[in-house]
Amino acid sequence: MKARPEDPSGPLRRRPVQRRSAERLERILDASARLLDESGYGALTTREVARRAEVPIGTLYQFFTGKDALVAALAERNLERYLARLARRIECEAPAHVGALTDLAVEEFVAMKRAVPGFGVLDFGVVGPPGNRAEQHILDAVLDNNAAVAQRLGALIGGLLEPEGGTDGQDGTDPSLALRVAMECADAVLQLAFRVDPDGDPALIAECKRVLRRYLAPDPD
């Protein structure tokens, strides 16, 4: 994932060096996540986050330029944690085929939606209908959120999507393009699943897995 060109540290003004500063940063992000769950994206303010994190507002602004940077940092943390969780599942379960791999990817996303504070509102970008450009480029100044996630996910699992003996999919599709399309499909279906049921509609989650399996690993003719 590329950092925003105007800020080589990404959404952070500076990276914490001392343990105390790192703990304050985590408290700020944790408070942001809880506030998102309680009041939604529109009610998130830097002043309220600082109050809940029990840090001076000046401390928050040492790390962030404002709300957009704060949200971007939380989205990045969500993505890092998702990729780490998925990597552990892959290492432990060693999926033997693309279908099993896509199931793991969906299951970890659903598990985080259900349990991780703030993830249901933000996940890797603002959840809901398309808004302004800034909301669609939280993770990257150039790539939209889903493209940025697909790029990072491809770095983790891209090789597992490639059949032996070549870099193209069974129908000649570039695996990176296939993963990008799969991300859009999964995003749409899983958003629907959590609109229908706050815990994620099981039938729609199962259908998401089926769609990804059929697209990324179609049965040979």
Interior angle at CA 4, CA 3 and CA 9, nearest 5: 60
- Per-residue pLDDT, averaged over 20-42, amounts to 94
pLDDT for position 173: 65
So what's the pLDDT on residue 144?
87
Q: Decide if pLDDT at 221 tops 50.
A: no
Phi, psi of 154 (to 5 degrees): -60, -35
Mean pLDDT lowest among 64-73, 124-133, 156-165: 124-133
- pLDDT 10s digits, 79-93: 999 999 999 999 999
How many C-beta neighbours within 10 Å does residue 90 have?
18
Query: What pLDDT, on a 0 to 100 scale, did the predictor assign at position 142?
Result: 85
Mean pLDDT over 52-75 rounds to 94
How confident is the model at residue 175, as a pLDDT?
A: 80
- Low-confidence winner among 130-134, 139-143, 179-183 (lowest mean pLDDT): 130-134
Question: pLDDT at position 158, please?
Answer: 75
Backbone angles phi, psi at 169, to 5 degrees: -70, 180
pTM, two decimals, is: 0.86
Q: How far apart are CA 4 and CA 104, in angstroms?
A: 30
* Residue 17: CB atoms within 10 Å: 8
Find the mean pLDDT for residues 41-68: 94
pLDDT value of position 90: 95
pLDDT for position 127? 59
Q: What is the pLDDT of residue 219?
A: 63
Closest CA to 67 of 15, 37, 31: 31
Residue 170 in tokens: 């069974």
CA angle 133, 144, 112 (to 5 degrees): 110
Q: Is 176 helix (H, G, I), strand (E, B) or coil?
A: helix
